[in-house]
Amino acid sequence: MTQGTQLETELRYVKGIGPAFAVRLQKLGLKTVKDLLWHFPSRYEDFSNIANIVDLIPGEPATIQGVIQEIKILRSFRKKMFIIQATVADATGSVRATWFNQKFLVAMLKKGMVINLAGKVSDGKAGIGFSHPSYEIVGFSEDDEQFIENAADYREEIEACKHTGRLVPMYPETKGVTSKGLRFLIKPLLDAIDRVPETLPVSMLERAAVMDINDALRGIHFPETMEDVTRARRRIAFEDIFYLQLVNMLERLRLAKENAYACEMEEEKFSELLKQLPFELTEAQAQVMREIMNDIARPHPMNRLLQGDVGSGKTIVAVLSAIIIAEAGKQASFMAPTEILATQHYHTFKKIFGNFEKGVALLTASGARVFFGEGLESEMKKADVIKKLATGEIKIAIGTHALIQKGVTFDELGLVVIDEQHRFGVKQRQALAGHKKGNGEYLPHFLSMSATPIPRTLSLTLFGDLDVSIIEELPKGRKAIMTKIVPPASRTDAYAFIRGQVKKGRQIFVICPRIEKNEDEDGKGKNWFAAETKTVKEEYDKLSKKIFPDMRVEMLHGKLKPAEKAEVMQRMKKGTIDVLVATSVIEVGVDIPNATIMMIEGAERFGLAQLYQFKGRVGRGEHQSFCLLFTDSSSQPTKDRLEALVHARNGFELAEKDLALRGPGEFMGQSQTGLPDLAMRSLHDIKLVKSARGAAEGVLKIDPELKQHAQLKGIVARFHDKVHLE
C-alpha cells in the first residue's frame, strides 16, 4: 500500500485490532489509521527516572527493573476484593507491588519474569513499594542471581519500552480502550508507516520554524522530553491554524464576488428615525451603526459579528438596521433562539416604532402576529404570514427556528440578523444567511449578535471571515451591578436582604442548575453528588412555603410549553410575580427593568460566561441591582472563578480573565468550534497565529483560488466542513 492509502486504512483491517476492537475505537471517533495517529495524548506520566530499588524515594514517580521473586493472590475479607502482590528484586534490594481486583495478572506475571514497574513510590507498613503500578514485561530469567549479574543488558531495553522508563503518554479513553492499549497500537503504527506524507511546503515550515509532521507525530506520542512535546504540539497546531486562516480568507474573497442589495438611507432621514427613540444612542452604538450602514450600502454582502456587553443595546442596533433595509424596499429577517426572546424583540419593535407601516411579523412555533402601523396589529395564520413574506408584503420578520422551516421564503431578503448565534447550529444559520433571491443573484447582508464576549485576540483569529463590531459602553444612567459571593453561613442574611428589596417593590430572579431530581436520586449511595444540586422544584417549594410564604413566588423552566413560559414572563413584566425561580431558560435576553436581584444557587456549577449572562438579566432599570452567588464549594479554582465575576467591570474584561484561567481550549472547546483541541489551546500563542496567518496570506497572494495547490484545496474544503465557529 502507498503511504497515503495506509493512513486512510480502516482500523478494523489493521493487524492486532480487528472488527470488534474497532467498534470500541469508534466511540472515540477513531475510524482510520490517520484518526488513531492524530489521537493525541492529553497528558504525560513522567516515569523517566530509572532508579535502583535502594534509591527509591516515597512520593516520587520512578521506574525500576527487576525479576519477580514471588507473586500471590489474596482476598480481602471486609471488601471482598482480590489483592495481587508481587515481590520484585534488583541488585540493590526488593520491593512489593500491589494491584487490586486484577486477577488476570496472576496468569500474566510469573516468577522469574524480568519486568519494569513504574508509578509513584508508596511507603506503607510493609515498607517502600508501588500501589497499582504500570508494568512492562522485558524478558525472563531462570536464575535470579544471573539476572542481577546481567542487569545492565536488560537496562538497555528500557529505551524501547512504551509504558515505563520514559515520559508515558496518557490518552482520552473510553470503556474498553485504555491508554496502555492505545500505546500498544500507536507505537507499531508509527514504526510501520515510515513517512507520513507532508502536506505543507518545506519552505513554509522553515519560515515558521516548525518541524516536519513525522518528527511531530513521534515527538507527541513518544517524547524523550517535555520540550519535544511542546515543539510537536506547536507544529500540529500551526497546520490547523494555517487551514483556519485560509478558510476565513477564502470566505472573504468569496463574499467579495457575491452580489447583495445596496441599501442606503439619507442622513437626514436617519436622523428623523433616531428621533423616534426614547433615548439617545451611546457613542459606541452610533459608531456600530455607521459601520453597518457603510456595509449595507455596498453591493456585496456584509458579514459582521456584533459583540456587545450584556445590556449594551445590541437589539436597537439590529432593529435600526432592519428598518433601513425595509425603507429601501427589501426584507429583513431577525432570528432569536427562544420564543421568549423573539416575542420580546417583536414587542420592543412595536413599542418604539409602532407607526412603522411596512409590516412586521412575529413567527414562532406557537403562532404568528403581524402589525402594519398604529392600531393595525392582529393574530394571523402562519400560512398567511408565510404567503406575505413570499410576496414581499411583510418587510420584517422576527422569529425563531420557524423562520427557516420548510416553505418559508422571502421575496427580496436584504438582511439576516441572528441573535445569540452560538445557540444555533451551523445549518440553521446557513439556511438564512445563504438565502438567495430566486435565481441565486443576491445574498442577504448578514449580522450576527453575541452577548458572550470573546477576547479580541481570539475573535480576530477565529472569526477572521467576519468584520467585528464591539459595543462596550452601557446606556446612560445604568448603575454597575454589585456582585457578592454568599457562603452558607450568610444565607439567612441574604434572604432578609431579598425581603427588603421586595418590600420596596422590586422583583427577584432565583436560578437553579436543574429542574428536578432524577428518580434514582435519594441522597444516598452513588448519586449523592447529583442529589446535592439545587433544583427548581425543590427551591420553589422551599421559598414559597418556608422562606417567603407571604410573597408571590412562581417558577419557570424548559419543560413548560412555550405559551406557559410566555404567560409567566408576561406576569413577571407586569410585576405580579415577586420571586421567579428558574433554570438557565432566562439566560438570554430577558428584559425586566424592575428586577434588581439575581440570586444564583450552585454558582460553581455554571461557567463564567453563563454566570455573566444571568447577572445581565438585572441592572436594566434605574434602581441599584445585585447579583448573589450562592455556593457550598471551598475549592480554590471555584473561588478564583467567582472572584473574577465579582471584580470584572465588563464582559470583555471577564472574558480575558476566563481565558487566562482556562486557556483557549476550554474557553471555546472543540465541541463548540470543531477546531482540533491542540489548535484551540495554541490560540494564545500570538507569534504562532501571526506566522500561520502570514503563511496563508502568502499562498493566496500568488494563488487566490488555489488552482496551483490542488492537494491544499482539498484539505481546506474538508477543514471548512469540519470547523463551525459559533
**pLDDT tens digits for range 258-303:** 999 999 999 999 999 999 999 999 999 999 999 999 999 999 999 9
The mean predicted confidence, pLDDT, of the chain is: 85
pLDDT grade for 574, boundaries at 50, 70 and 90: very high
- Ordered alpha helix ranges (H), 549-708: 562-574, 608-615, 636-647, 651-668, 670-673, 677-681, 686-702
Position 629 scores a pLDDT of 96
Going by C-alpha positions, the residue among 248, 335, 251, 247 that lies closest to residue 300 is 251
User: Does the pLDDT at position 479 exceed 50?
Assistant: yes
Average pLDDT over residues 556-577: 88
Q: Which helix (H) or strand (E) holds 304?
A: strand 303-308
Positive or negative: CA dihedral 72, 78, 80, 81: negative
Contacts 24+ apart (CB under 8 A), 435-442: 435/333, 435/409, 435/410, 437/412, 437/413, 441/259, 442/259, 442/260, 442/261, 442/412
Q: What is the CATH number of domain 267-297+313-450?
A: 3.40.50.300
Position 2 scores a pLDDT of 46
Other beta carbons less than 10 A from residue 283's beta carbon: 10
Q: Do 482-648 and 44-168 fall under one CATH topology? A: no
CATH topology of domain 44-168: OB fold (Dihydrolipoamide Acetyltransferase, E2P) (2.40.50)
pLDDT grade for 717, boundaries at 50, 70 and 90: confident
Position 42 scores a pLDDT of 92
**CATH class label, 1-42+171-196:** mainly alpha
Q: What whole-number distance in Å separates Cα of residue 595 and Cα of residue 578?
A: 9
pTM of the model: 0.75
CATH topology of domain 482-648: Rossmann fold (3.40.50)
Start-to-end Cα distance in the chain = 40
User: Does the pLDDT at position 437 exceed 70?
Assistant: no
User: Does the pLDDT at position 474 exceed 70?
Assistant: yes
Rounded to the nearest 10°, the torsion over CA 33, 37, 39, 41 is 150
Positive or negative: CA dihedral 228, 233, 236, 238: negative
pLDDT grade for 4, boundaries at 50, 70 and 90: very low
Position 226 scores a pLDDT of 95
The backbone torsions φ and ψ at residue 352, rounded to the nearest 5 degrees and listed phi first, read -85, -40
Domain spans of the chain, in order of start: 1-42+171-196, 44-168, 267-297+313-450, 482-648
User: Does the pLDDT at position 670 exceed 60?
Assistant: no
**pLDDT tens digits for range 198-218:** 989 888 999 999 999 999 999
User: Does the pLDDT at position 46 exceed 90?
Assistant: yes
User: Does the pLDDT at position 532 exceed 50?
Assistant: no
- Residue whose C-alpha cell is 413570499: 390
Position 466 scores a pLDDT of 82
Going by C-alpha positions, the residue among 37, 62, 46 that lies closest to residue 224 is 46
90 residue type, one letter: D
Q: What whole-number distance in Å separates Cα of residue 374 and Cα of residue 21?
A: 68
Q: What whole-number distance in Å separates Cα of residue 381 and Cα of residue 472?
A: 40
Q: Spell out a b/e string for 206-226, using b for 16 or more CB atoms within 10 Å of the CB, else e.
A: eebebbebeebbbbbbbbeee
Is the Cβ–Cβ distance between 471 and 285 less than 8 Å? yes
Q: What whole-number distance in Å separates Cα of residue 165 and Cα of residue 168?
A: 8
